[in-house]
Amino acid sequence: MSTQSTTTPDELVTLTIADADPAPRTLAHDVHDGLTQPFKQLPPKHLYDDHGSDLFAQICELPEYYPTRTERSILVARSAELAERTGAVDLVELGAGFATKTRVLLDAMQAGGTLRRFVPFDVSAPTVRQCSGEISAAYGIPVHGIVGDFERDLDLVPEPIGPRIVAILGGTLGNLPPGSRRHFLGRLRGLLGEEGRMLIGIDLVKDPAVIEAAYNDGAGVTSAFNRNVLTMLNRELGADFPVDEYEHVAFFDRRHEWIDIRLRAVRDHVVRIPALGLEVPFAAREELRTEISSKFTRERIAGDLAASGLELEDLLTDDDGLFGLALARVA
Packed helices 50-59 and 221-237: angle between N→C axes, nearest 10 degrees: 170
Write out the chain's pLDDT in tens, 331 residues.
Answer: 445 555 555 689 999 998 754 455 689 999 999 999 999 999 998 998 889 988 998 999 999 999 999 999 999 999 999 999 999 999 999 999 889 999 999 999 999 999 999 999 998 888 899 999 999 999 999 999 999 888 889 999 999 999 999 999 998 999 999 999 999 999 999 999 989 999 999 999 999 999 999 999 999 999 999 999 999 999 999 999 999 999 999 999 999 999 999 999 999 999 999 999 999 999 999 999 999 999 999 999 999 999 999 999 999 999 999 999 999 999 9
Q: What are the chain's domains?
A: 3-21+61-207+297-330 (3.40.50.150)
Other Cβ atoms within 10 Å of 254 Cβ, number: 9
DSSP-derived secondary structure for 178-221:
HHHHHHHHHHHHTTSTTT-EEEEEEEBP--HHHHHHHTS-TT-H
- Hey, how many other C-beta atoms are within 10 angstroms of the C-beta on 60? 17
- From residue 67, how far is each of 74, 103, 166, 325 by CA, in Å? 11, 17, 20, 11
Q: Diameter of the chain by CA atoms?
A: 61
∠ CA(113), CA(91), CA(163), 5° rounding? Answer: 70
